Amino acid sequence: DTEVTQTPKHLVMGMTNKKSLKCEQHMGHRAMYWYKQKAKKPPELMFVYSYEKLSINESVPSRFSPECPNSSLLNLHLHALQPEDSALYLCASSQDYYNEQFFGPGTRLTVL
């Protein structure tokens, strides 16, 4: 299995909602990532988990809360988001931090 899966594909939420994005990989990769991508921009790194521990937080606002329940799963919990948080949220995984990354299809998030 060489896929990274993400759910949901699309999400519309209000500014007072709480929602979660999910990511899963079964390639035995030990590094997992959350990226945010706005239109016509490259992916912007948010968080990195290495061996199930948070190793990088790129000064992301606390309304985004990552979680890595086990080596295959990565969640991103969302609370009190702003309209400017609307974007494509990409999950990726790699064997180790400096290896090539495999991206999931992303969750298209709209905050109203």
Partner 1 sequence: GQQVMQIPQYQHVQEGEDFTTYCNSSTTLSNIQWYKQRPGGHPVFLIQLVKSGEVKKQKRLTFQFGEAKKNSSLHITATQTTDVGTYLCQGGSEKLVFGKGTKLTVNP
Query: 14 with 112: CB under 8 angstroms?
Result: yes
Residue 23 sits in the site that holds partner 1 (CB under 8 A)? no
Task: With beta carbons less than 8 A apart as the criterion, state whether 103 and 23 touch.
Answer: no
Residue 59 in the binding site for partner 1 (CB under 8 A) = no
CB of 58 to partner 1, least distance (A): 9
Query: Considering only residues 41, 69, 77, 110, which one is a binding residue for partner 1 as defined by CB under 8 A?
Result: 41
C-alpha count within 13 angstroms, C-beta hemisphere, residue 91: 29
List CB contacts of 61: < 8 A, sequence separation 6 or more.
none
Given candidates 13, 75, 79, 102, which one binds partner 1 under the rule CB under 8 A?
Answer: 102
Single out the residue of 90, 93, 109, 111 in contact with partner 1 (rule: CB under 8 A): 90
CB of 42 to partner 1, least distance (A): 4
103 binds partner 1 (CB under 8 A): yes
Q: Which residues contact 1 (CB under 8 A, 6 or more apart)?
A: 26, 27
